[in-house]
Structure 1
């Protein structure tokens, strides 16, 4: 048995029994402690009862959908969420990201990729904890009219505070470390999501779109076929 997941608990929320059990068995085989739910209300109850380290969350659920589950659990306690969706619909994906989901997989997916993304998200949480002390001594950064307080994890655009999800904040912080420099999608995925060499470019694109909606579309420049850059001279 692979023991990578020892000590970590994952909540699997999926209404299709065969998929739910297959995912559960694979994660348990990787050493994770797995608890299960099959509908929206049950997911919220299980989250409160089991305090998981990560949630695998299907979008289409009985009772109420995965977006509502994500909203409720994130309001209770921030936790990494990997959304599972049968629809490759950008609006559907952006809705989940805006509620605090960190990443998504479109069905059908490969179990190996799911396990890898779970591990990457958990590593990211560990890295964030390690960086907390370092960030606490850094002064707030200013890029154009953006002010980024990395210690308090707060952002202001032209003097008005902007509320970002944890992933949106980490993405902005990564771009702000090198204002004006173009960072490839692959580099951003490695730095923010902690999975070097993976093809998570669509995840990056979706988060950039969500970030632009909050801080201003002109602040993040697209370099087609390459990646993104935070514009240091933006004044809007």
Structure 2
């Protein structure tokens, strides 16, 4: 269902408002009023994206996102009335790709949703285009951008769209240090808003997933204390020392 969005919120008013604005942009809208209904629908359908409220009856949004991530990589935008940093970080740690704090502008939701889908679709559509195979290869890590696949020591690593985008951005410029503000701008496309902890949380999750199959691949993502992060590739001289 390439154009269908699942809107999850226990408030009828918010669901109606989001449905109104999204249908104007030619999206098809499915709705869920609680976490259990949202989880069941998301497991049985392939949505383009899920707009997921944090505070829900039956099953909260954090639990829904966490359980979904065990099976699917569907893009998730978390909607939350809790603006505290810990709640936002918790949302990202469960696999959310973006967050929007209530009260929000419906137009902002539409723009953020379309931006996320555009980046995801551009990355995945390349595999159907006839051109030379797009590979980024290192000793312990291969990124197959045509197939949207990551292999660490020949084992596949399942990443969310945002984790994949972060990895490929760093890997395309080995050994260059990026500060958090740069990464927010280039990967999240946030220029005037955005939580720097967003970057830290995604880097942490990315390392953990790589480390499950290859410690060497995980170590390629290095923290440069007081600055930011880099994708470290040792030169031949360094690797023989």
Please classify the TM superposition score into its range, dividing by the shorter chain length.
0.7 to 0.9
Following superposition, the deviation at residue 81 of structure 1 comes to 0.8
- 1:150 aligned onto 2:150: no
2:27 is aligned to: 32
Q: 1:176 to 1:201 in 2, by over 3 A?
A: farther
1:65 is aligned to: 60
What secondary structure sits across from 1:108 in the alignment?
A: coil
Q: Given that residues 70 and 101 in structure 1 are in contact (C-alpha distance below 8 angstroms), is that contact kept between their aligned partners in structure 2?
A: yes
Cα deviation code 1:21-58 (max 9, x no counterpart): 22222222333221211101111233356542111001
- 1:15 aligned onto 2:10: yes
Q: Which segment is superposed worse, 62-71 or 211-220?
A: 211-220
Structure 1: tracts of 5 or more residues without a match: 1-6
Q: Given that residues 178 and 230 in structure 2 are in contact (C-alpha distance below 8 angstroms), is that contact kept between their aligned partners in structure 1?
A: yes
- 1:207 aligned onto 2:209: no
Counterparts of 1:196 and 1:212, CA distance in 2: 23
- 1:141 aligned onto 2:137: yes
Following superposition, the deviation at residue 213 of structure 1 comes to 4.8
Q: Given that residues 87 and 106 in structure 1 are in contact (C-alpha distance below 8 angstroms), is that contact kept between their aligned partners in structure 2?
A: yes
2:223 is aligned to: 221
Q: Match for 1:177 among 172, 192, 195?
A: 172
Q: 1:163 to 1:106 in 2, by over 3 A?
A: same
Q: Given that residues 100 and 166 in structure 1 are in contact (C-alpha distance below 8 angstroms), is that contact kept between their aligned partners in structure 2?
A: no
Q: Match for 1:53 among 23, 48, 54?
A: 48
What secondary structure sits across from 2:121 in the alignment?
A: helix
Q: Which segment is superposed worse, 170-179 or 17-26?
A: 17-26
TM-score w.r.t. length of structure 1: 0.74
Counterparts of 2:120 and 2:171, CA distance in 1: 20
Following superposition, the deviation at residue 104 of structure 1 comes to 1.3
Q: Given that residues 150 and 173 in structure 1 are in contact (C-alpha distance below 8 angstroms), is that contact kept between their aligned partners in structure 2?
A: no
Following superposition, the deviation at residue 176 of structure 1 comes to 1.0
TM-score w.r.t. length of structure 2: 0.73
Q: 1:96 to 1:150 in 2, by over 3 A?
A: farther
Q: Which segment is superposed worse, 163-172 or 51-60?
A: 163-172
Cα deviation code 1:78-103 (max 9, x no counterpart): 31111112234455434433443211
Equivalenced residue count is 224
Q: Given that residues 154 and 162 in structure 1 are in contact (C-alpha distance below 8 angstroms), is that contact kept between their aligned partners in structure 2?
A: yes
Q: Given that residues 221 and 231 in structure 1 are in contact (C-alpha distance below 8 angstroms), is that contact kept between their aligned partners in structure 2?
A: no
Counterparts of 1:99 and 1:150, CA distance in 2: 25
What secondary structure sits across from 1:229 in the alignment?
A: strand
